[in-house]
Structure 1
Amino acid sequence: MVAFSAPGADEDLARQLGDVSLVRAAGAAKTPNPQDLFTSARADYARLLGVLYSEGYYSGVITIHIDGKEAADIQPMDAPETIHAIDVSVTPGPRFHFVRAGVTPLAAGTALPADYAEGRIARSGAILDAASAGVARWKEEGHAKATVADKRIVADHRKNTVDSVIVLDPGPVVHFGDLKATGNKKLRTDRLLAIAGFPTGKKYTPERLAEVQTRLRRTGIFSSVTLTEAERLRAGDVLDYDLAVAEDKPRRMGAGAEIGTSDGLALTGYWMNRNLWGGGERLRIDADIKGIGGSNSAGATDYSIGARIDRPATLSPDTSAYVLTKAYKTTEEDYTEWGSQIGGGLTHVFSDRLTGESGTAYIWSKVKDDYGNTIFRQIAFPNSLTWDNRDDKTDAKRGYYGLLRATPFYGLGQTTGSGMQLVADFRAYKALGTEERLVLAGRGQFGAVYGPSLGRTPRSYLFYSGGGGTVRGQPYQSLGVNELYDGQLKTGGMQFIGYTGEARYGLTDKVGVVAFYDAGFISSNDLFGRDGEWQSGAGLGLRYKTPIGPIRLDVAVPVQGSTGGGVQLYLGIGQAF
């Protein structure tokens, strides 16, 4: 019923023309509707012409015949009740090139598109991109009302050239005015404005405006955030804004599960309120149970429960304050530990990628082993920096993640020493190939305790290797150190190094396979010292993508070390790192 041709067009142009044709798509239906065909045919003129202009063809000829009549000549009231044949023909004609490509006036540092230049193909998109780039650069310089004042575009059909000059109107340098907020119901307006941190009185830049939206969105309180600038400037070239927000449901909960052959079943869950007292305070309660049915530590079950409240915009729009408390029980091969802590501090967002945190905490723990009970008490000062530019936190294909945490601590009493724990975690991801099916992922971990002796170091600051978080293929926390205290005690080490390499390949859009190798080193004293020991493991994994992240199944075996043997299985949600 519909015949489509593009005489003189190359393969790529013919494909583009065919793809945008509405009447061609309507004609492919099993039972084409005449009214749909007629409407589509009349709309195709503009769509096909747009493709020609976008590729630099300005003298093309488009004919669309409905049963022999030009569709453009048929009035809507005279639309045919039946249609037997539609013939579409697009003759592109010669390609045009720029004889001049100018933009005036230009702000310093404006980078115009490379395609918008004398001698280049006169694509309409290049003209639009050049106008957008010119306006955007003026706005970056504080001219919020910069606009295109005129476009002088002349096509010479004898020479097949285009003379293009874009005239911009920068307008004055603008400063931010007042912000008027609407839509908030449970969040108080004064707190909404404090969180937004609108830069009243400061010079206009798009970046400052984007920061306001980012601050509001990262609270998780709102389902939508819209900033609208006033149509006109106030006296003194001041620009006011309207902020319209829609609040999301404040409460949220979640759960997770992971199981390993020796680790047993681990269950995690959280409950969160993102606007606790109407000031944007976020309360999050986390709980987990680990080691259910595990073969390590005689099948003992560990648990922890903690609560944390964060208050945004405390000292500045990008600085929040927090308080936290936590209680836990941990069972290792030679001892059991009960602990609790309470503390608080500040979190500062330096950028979308970099976050810092600094705080103070009081930590108490009781360790029971073959030699009795030992009480550890310390004042800790945790500090951390986190860099994260991964494209997807649960299934990254590119980017980097880095965590650096330094925790000085002061021991209280005779049994607890003073010193510092240092922890680092670095991850990198690289997708290969045009379809990015192969992803190489690497992770390096480092940990060390400086200052106290091993016996006077709180157990929670020591390091182990083995299990899903460090070395797959080795039993959970199977590698520590053995120290003599009128006998032998197995405990965590003072130094730790771990690294992991993965090759992830997507067989389909949903299913992927992984090959991996993990290694870990634990020492009671010197890094890479003679008293240290390595262990490693390797294996294969299967991934199935879901909306909440890939389901992970890993099968691993030990490669190096004397800490265990046999096959280890790991099942969870999300990539291993």
Structure 2
Amino acid sequence: MAAVRLLRLRSAVPLALAVLLTACATTSNQPTGPKVKSLDIEGAKQVDDGDIKDRILTSSTPWYAFWPFGKAHYFDTNAWQADLRRIERFYQAQGFYQAQVESNEVIPDGDKAVRLKVVVNEGAPTVIDRIETHGLEALGEGPDQPSQRERERILEDLPVKTGDVFREDTWAVTKDLVLQRLKDLGYAEAEVGGEVRVDVATQKAVVDLQIAPGLRYRFGNIFIATDANPQVPPRRIIEQAQGAVHKGAYFSEAALAEAQARVFRMGVFGAVKVNRGAPDRQNATVPVVVDVRESPFHSIRLGGGIGVDAARQEGRILGEWTNRNFRGGLRRLTLRGRLGYAFIPNVLASLRDDEGSQQAPVFTFTTEFEQPRFLFRDVALQASITAEKGLQQAYSFYGGYLKTGVIWTPHPSFSVFPSYNLQLYRLTGQVSLEESVPPIILGCGTTTSEGKCDQALSFLEVAFAWDRRDDRTEPRDGYYLGFSLQKGGGPFFGNYNYVRLLPDLRYYRSIGENKDLTLAVKLRAGTLNPAGGGQSSIVTRFFSGGATAMRGFNGQRLSPMTPLAPTYKEDDDGNVLVDANGNPILDSWDTVPVGGNSLFESAVELRYMLTDALMLAVFYDSGLVGTQELFGKNGPKLFGPEHYHAVGAGLRYLTVVGPIRLDLARRLNIGRGLPVSDPGYIYPSSGGCLGFGRKFDKTSTSADAAYAGAPEGLCAIHISIGEAF
């Protein structure tokens, strides 16, 4: 879902006009030097020439030097001379103290361009001969001193190691790491320095790490710095900070960071900073200062968005009103709405009134209430009620749901959310004037005289989340672990008695000094077990496919299918064509997804920053959705014939509302066709790509003989806002 925030519209419009007028009234400075066509560094063997180029000002013009992703780079004589000195200094920082720039050439390439060439002599690197440590003996022994294991951990696995090439950045990281470990043991005023003695003749270095730990401090009182007339009582802020900072405990900067996260999570501050105050050396205590600035307690957000998929398209407007201090006590009341219009499979098909096309208004309106500090500090009461009307490929619906529970957050990264849920829906399987999905396929036990069915789901859910990502919108490092358990029916009544499990694991790791390359991995699995082997509701079933799921399929198209009526080829007069045996010639036979009781998704993605705003991604996705529960005797097998695989690539353009993402995926022909409820269904002989090349020139009804994922096409394209995971 995409939401565009319109904030301070009245002030933004004049400011934008002023910027445009200023831009029109000025002229850009034209470069005076020639364009740099290439930059070659010869002799760089032990140091990567790309790292050298990253440290100098002069650079070659990139291949993408066109608006808005790049620009031409020009030669400047003064900058070039300074860069030659920077190259030698960079080598020294990498431990090559004898490195020299032996020669450089500026070679004309036509009248307006030059090619640059640098030859370096690296020399031998300086190797660490030994590491000496001084100052830790001051820690001593005693009840108020660190244990032997804690003292050993201070110097454990340091970046600098005997026998390694000495590098200045590694030396700086080592000092910072030792300092951080000392502060986390309570040494708030610790100092870490030292010197490195290099013997140029032998190319060996002696590292002297000098440590002055100082006093070991404990936490003292917590003080609040806030606005002149605060609406948030300071005691509430202190209470949250005390969840991490305990008076009398040893000082730790990690505790300060956790306290800051706890206070910010209250949701009513625009800025939060938690620092230590001036130490009391006489009592060996450190006060804590929490500096906060309140944000507006009432806010309105407006926006809009579109959802584009080969199977469904939707345009929508969004709105949200929030009161963060409803009737005092920091109670939060939120009214949230989404109003849109949906088209299946797309706008053009609906305008042409193609067979099987649908269109309808859709909406979701939610009222949500949250009571912080419900019984205990880290427990909040949350309740919401939602009314909605929707249009899916296999059915349309209207109804609503109620959700109420408590959120326990003992740590800023960990939460437990037990809740009771009641969902009431009226489903209609009418997908066109002539076609409808049988109620039994939707999981309906009984239907009305108009062919509609009512479903009531009553269940308890417990959701766990452990979120250690560095950024929830554009994660580069960290991991996320989620788990959801639902128990429906039984003592909770409702029409369905079932157990539903859904674990979710994601991992991110960035590589490189600027974290330009990111590895992202996702594993997600689910199983839905109806009691006694009964029918499950389509509302609780699993679907996959789409921009945030298995990208080798379009939205919700990785699923067991049910067929619609087939269409046959006709001549220009509208007569059905027949083959030599007198049978009508099949033109197309569409299906709609009805969901399954098992799910497995995996994804491995590499994301590389081309520029500050443009990212390239390549990925491998796999997934399955089966009719039986995942771990049952007849359940689908991982890497079996119903487990599908896809590879693809995409581009992301980074914006303030998240990355605008374009992904193109190609499914591998490994496996069988999707399960279709009609055993007489004829699979297409060729799926084609992006709507082209699909053929029904054979009469095979065997899923095993069909290509992988039939009847879906082998390619899928996705346009969305936000990362895939």
* TM-score, L = length of structure 2: 0.56
Aligned match of 1:495: 597
DSSP 3-state at the match of 1:342: strand
Deviation at 1:535, TM superposition (A): 8.0
Amino acid at match of 2:718: Y
Are the aligned partners of 2:424 and 2:456 in contact in 1 as well (CA < 8 Å)? yes
Deviation at 1:528, TM superposition (A): 6.8
1:175 aligns with 2:219: yes
1:357 aligns with 2:417: yes
Deviation at 1:500, TM superposition (A): 4.6
Aligned match of 2:694: none
Are the aligned partners of 1:263 and 1:291 in contact in 2 as well (CA < 8 Å)? no
Are the aligned partners of 1:264 and 1:290 in contact in 2 as well (CA < 8 Å)? no
DSSP 3-state at the match of 2:610: coil
Q: Which of 520, 524, 532 lines up with 1:444 in the alignment?
A: 524
1:238 aligns with 2:269: no
Q: Distance in 2 between matches of 1:172 and 1:432?
A: 36
Q: Which of 178, 187, 209 lines up with 2:232 in the alignment?
A: 187
Aligned match of 1:425: 504
Are the aligned partners of 1:537 and 1:556 in contact in 2 as well (CA < 8 Å)? no
Q: Distance in 2 between matches of 1:55 and 1:517?
A: 40
Aligned match of 1:104: 135
Cα shift readout 1:81-119 (whole Å, capped 9, x = no counterpart):
xxxxxxxxxxxxx98988872222353432168577889
Amino acid at match of 2:650: L
1:304 aligns with 2:364: yes
Deviation at 1:247, TM superposition (A): 2.9
Give the number of equivalent residue pairs.
513
Q: Report sequence identity in percent.
A: 16
Q: Distance in 1 between matches of 2:217 and 2:501?
A: 48
1:545 aligns with 2:653: yes
Q: Distance in 1 between matches of 2:361 and 2:538?
A: 18
Q: Distance in 1 between matches of 2:607 and 2:488?
A: 44
1:522 aligns with 2:572: no
DSSP 3-state at the match of 2:183: helix
Q: Distance in 2 between matches of 1:519 and 1:332?
A: 21
Q: Distance in 2 between matches of 1:338 and 1:256?
A: 22
Aligned match of 1:229: 276
Alignment of 1:501-516 (within 5 A): 501=603, 503-504=605-606, 506=608, 508-509=610-611, 510-512=614-616, 514=618
Are the aligned partners of 2:496 and 2:530 in contact in 1 as well (CA < 8 Å)? no
Aligned match of 2:342: 292
Amino acid at match of 1:542: G
DSSP 3-state at the match of 1:363: strand
Cα shift readout 1:426-467 (whole Å, capped 9, x = no counterpart):
344566899865856444332313426644x55422234455
Deviation at 1:178, TM superposition (A): 3.0
Q: Distance in 2 between matches of 1:284 and 1:360?
A: 20
Q: Distance in 1 between matches of 2:126 and 2:544?
A: 66
Aligned match of 2:322: 273
DSSP 3-state at the match of 1:306: strand
Alignment of 1:1-150 (within 5 A): 101-106=132-137, 107-111=151-155, 114=158, 132-147=176-191
| Structure 2 unaligned regions, length at least 5 | 1-44, 58-74, 98-124, 138-150, 346-355, 430-438, 440-446, 564-590, 675-682, 684-709
Are the aligned partners of 2:135 and 2:211 in contact in 1 as well (CA < 8 Å)? yes
DSSP 3-state at the match of 2:539: helix
DSSP 3-state at the match of 2:489: strand
Deviation at 1:260, TM superposition (A): 0.9
Aligned match of 1:78: none
Q: Distance in 2 between matches of 1:408 and 1:554?
A: 36
Aligned match of 2:442: none
Deviation at 1:245, TM superposition (A): 1.6
Q: Distance in 2 between matches of 1:386 and 1:189?
A: 29
Deviation at 1:523, TM superposition (A): 0.9
1:98 to 1:289, Cα distance in 2 relative to 1, 3 A: same
Amino acid at match of 2:314: L
Deviation at 1:140, TM superposition (A): 2.4
1:56 to 1:168, Cα distance in 2 relative to 1, 3 A: farther
DSSP 3-state at the match of 1:463: coil
Alignment of 1:343-354 (within 5 A): 343-351=403-411, 353-354=413-414
Cα shift readout 1:529-553 (whole Å, capped 9, x = no counterpart):
7697948585745323222333223
Aligned match of 1:37: none
Deviation at 1:366, TM superposition (A): 3.3
Deviation at 1:379, TM superposition (A): 3.9
Aligned match of 1:3: none
Cα shift readout 1:204-252 (whole Å, capped 9, x = no counterpart):
3222222111112334533432233232328643322222122345536
1:354 to 1:135, Cα distance in 2 relative to 1, 3 A: same
Q: Distance in 1 between matches of 2:308 and 2:284?
A: 62
Amino acid at match of 1:189: P
1:268 to 1:281, Cα distance in 2 relative to 1, 3 A: farther
Q: Which of 320, 326, 331 lines up with 2:380 in the alignment?
A: 320
Q: Normalized per residue, which structure has more strand? A: 1
* TM-score, L = length of structure 1: 0.69
1:441 to 1:172, Cα distance in 2 relative to 1, 3 A: closer
Aligned match of 1:62: none
DSSP 3-state at the match of 1:137: helix
Q: Distance in 2 between matches of 1:256 and 1:396?
A: 23
Q: What root-mean-square deviation, in Å, do the aligned CA atoms of Structure 1 and Structure 2 show? A: 5.3
Are the aligned partners of 2:394 and 2:594 in contact in 1 as well (CA < 8 Å)? no
DSSP 3-state at the match of 1:176: strand
1:95 to 1:188, Cα distance in 2 relative to 1, 3 A: same
Cα shift readout 1:447-498 (whole Å, capped 9, x = no counterpart):
313426644x554222344554545435645734669xxxxx9984551223
| Structure 1 unaligned regions, length at least 5 | 1-9, 22-27, 33-39, 41-46, 59-93, 484-488
